């Protein structure tokens, strides 16, 4: 468990805590395996405990994004990226439990903590002034991770576009394409859940008129909405590319069939002529003509050229 003390001017990492500070506030960041000692700690410093259902929610690694409130605290469960591989997006929930002078985070991964420490070291003049501001600071880092995936999503979409529209080399990576599409769909659902959780928090704060924190929540809503819109856009463009790929294949097949049909149309009457000359009748006067063979070849050639010109005149080829 990590304990940070914020006094408005600096951040101090503490080893233990026995009571709330008279000024400033505390941030307790703990892993899920440490949650069994939280109620004892909260009872000692705040005189309250977490609800059993909220503890179960914190321990559930598959819990969706959600928001709930009690008379003592607010709880927000938000998903954080633990893998930024666009082919295997993985997230884990982080629970934000907000008291008046204490922010408690329960997480399955500490990735956001290291990111936050780097931000705090470079922005010491703008330290969060309250637990809610600190929660927004962390949530902003998490949503930025989702926004950063827009570029690799677009780059991979361009690669798929070049492969799908390449008529010289048939596309064969269908399994990876559908896995990519499934990851986009999962990414979009997570962003929508994040948006709904923040919106519930905003609606709860809307009961307090003129709360300046609403502006920050609107900013978070905008971030989640931008990530969700981009994922929907990539998914729609991917479906369009697949349809265009099949349209190109069908067009190419039709072109091949048209050429074969023209060839068959030219040689069909010529085959009819050769079939007549192939009949074994004794009384066929043209067979005994000295120039019958050459005349037949010339006639069939002229007739074939005539058919070829006719097809071009009709713009069939």
Tally the C-alpha atoms within 13 A of residue 280's C-alpha that lie toward its C-beta. Answer: 0
- Based on the fold, state whether residues 106 and 171 are members of the same structural domain: no
104 and 156 co-located in one domain: no
Q: Give the model confidence (pLDDT) of 249-275 as tens digits.
A: 888 888 888 888 888 888 888 888 888
Final residue belonging to a domain, choices 92, 126, 160:
126
Q: Could you tell me the pTM of the whole model? A: 0.76
- Please tell me whether residues 303 and 209 are part of one structural domain: yes
**Boundary-marking domain end, from 91, 126, 161:** 126
Domain boundary residue, one of 93, 126, 159: 126
**Average pLDDT, 10 consecutive residues per value, the chain (317 residues):** 76 72 82 81 83 88 89 89 80 89 82 61 69 87 88 89 83 85 89 91 74 81 90 90 87 84 83 79 72 79 84 78
Q: Which pLDDT does position 209 carry in this prediction? A: 56
Pair (193, 291) in one structural domain: yes
Residue 298 sits in the same domain as residue 220: yes
Q: Do residues 183 and 270 both lie within one domain?
A: yes
CATH of the domain at 60: 3.30.460.20
Q: Which residues 6+ apart lie within 8 Å of 260 measured at CB?
A: none
Q: What's the per-residue H, E or C state across the chain? A: CEEEEECCCCEEEECCCCCCCCCCEEEEEEEHHHHHHHHHHHHHHCCCCCCHHHHHHHHCCCCCCEEEECCCCEEEEEEEEEECCCCCCEEEEEEEEECCCEEEEEECCCHHHHHHHHHHHHCHHHCCCCHHHHHHHHHHHHHHHHHHCHHHHHHHHHHHHHHHCCCCCCCCCHHHHHHHHHHHHHHHHHHHHHHHHHHHHHHHHCCCCCCCHHHHHHHHHHHHHHHHHHHHHHHHHHHHHHHHHHHHHHHHHHHHHHHHHHHHHHHHHHHHHHHHHCCCCCCCHHHHCCCHHHHHHHHHHHHHHHHHHHHHHCCCC
**Residue 153 within a domain:** yes
Locate 241 and state its tokens.
């590319």
251 in a structural domain: yes
Structural domain contains residue 248: yes
Summarize pLDDT for 44-71 with one digit per residue, the tens: 888 888 888 988 888 888 889 999 988 8
Specify if 134 maps to a domain: no
Please answer whether residues 138 and 96 qualify as being in contact, where contact means their C-beta atoms are separated by less than 8 angstroms. Answer: yes
Residue range of the domain that includes 59? 1-126
Structural domain includes residue 142:
no
Q: How far is CA 126 from CA 21, 47, 192, in A?
A: 20, 31, 30
pLDDT for 76 equals: 92
pLDDT of residue 19: 76
Do 83 and 160 fall within a single domain? no
Q: Are 35 and 17 in contact (CB under 8 A)?
A: no
CA distances from 11 to 27, 55, 73, 124, 128 (A): 10, 28, 23, 8, 10
- On whether residue 79 sits in a domain, the answer given is yes
What does the alpha-carbon distance between residue 317 and residue 262 come to, in Å, rounded to a whole number? 8
My answer on whether 156 and 37 are in the same domain is no
On whether both 16 and 165 belong to a single domain, the answer is: no
* Residue 77, domain member (yes or no): yes
Q: How far is CA 297 from CA 30, 276, 288, in A?
A: 93, 13, 15
Q: Is 235 in contact with 184 (CB distance < 8 Å)? A: yes
Q: Is residue 15 part of a domain?
A: yes
Quick one: how far is CA 58 from the chain centroid?
Answer: 26
The answer to whether residues 121 and 183 belong to one domain is: no
185 with 117, same domain?
Answer: no
pLDDT of residue 112: 56
Beta bridge partners of 26: 5, 102
How far, CA to CA in Å, does 131 sit from each of 1, 184, 270? 17, 33, 90
Specify whether 238 is located in the same domain as 307. yes
Q: Are 77 and 95 in contact (CB under 8 A)?
A: yes
Number of folded domains that form the chain? 2
């Amino acid at each position: 468990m990590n304990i940070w003390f914020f006094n408005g001017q600096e951040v101090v990492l503490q080893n233990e805590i026995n009571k709330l500070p008279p000024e400033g506030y505390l941030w307790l960041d703990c892993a899920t395996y440490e949650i069994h000692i939280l109620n004892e700690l909260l009872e000692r410093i705040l005189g309250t405990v977490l609800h059993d259902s909220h503890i179960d929610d914190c321990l559930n690694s598959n819990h969706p994004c959600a928001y709930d409130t009690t008379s003592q605290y607010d709880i927000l469960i938000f998903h954080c990226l633990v893998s930024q591989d666009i082919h295997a997006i993985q997230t884990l929930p982080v629970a934000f439990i907000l008291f008046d002078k204490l922010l408690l985070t329960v997480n399955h991964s500490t990735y956001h903590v290291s990111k936050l420490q780097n931000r705090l070291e470079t922005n010491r003049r703008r330290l969060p002034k309250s637990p809610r501001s600190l929660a927004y600071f962390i949530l902003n880092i998490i949503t930025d991770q989702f926004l950063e995936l827009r570029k690799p999503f677009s780059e991979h979409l361009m690669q798929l576009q070049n492969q799908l529209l390449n008529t010289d080399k048939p596309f064969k990576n269908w399994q990876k394409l559908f896995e990519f599409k499934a990851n986009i769909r999962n990414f979009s659902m997570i962003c929508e859940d994040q948006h709904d959780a923040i919106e519930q928090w905003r609606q709860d704060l809307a009961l307090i008129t003129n709360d300046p924190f609403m502006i920050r929540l609107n900013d978070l809503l905008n971030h989640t909405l931008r990530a969700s819109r981009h994922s929907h856009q990539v998914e729609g463009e991917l479906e369009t590319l697949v349809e265009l790929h099949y349209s190109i294949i069908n067009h190419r097949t039709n072109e091949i069939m048209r050429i074969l049909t023209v060839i068959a149309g030219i040689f069909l009457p010529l085959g009819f002529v050769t079939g007549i000359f192939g009949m074994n009748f004794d009384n066929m006067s043209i067979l005994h003509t000295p120039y019958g063979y050459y005349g037949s070849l010339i006639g069939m050639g002229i007739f074939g050229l005539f058919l070829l010109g006719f097809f071009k005149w009709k713009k069939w080829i």
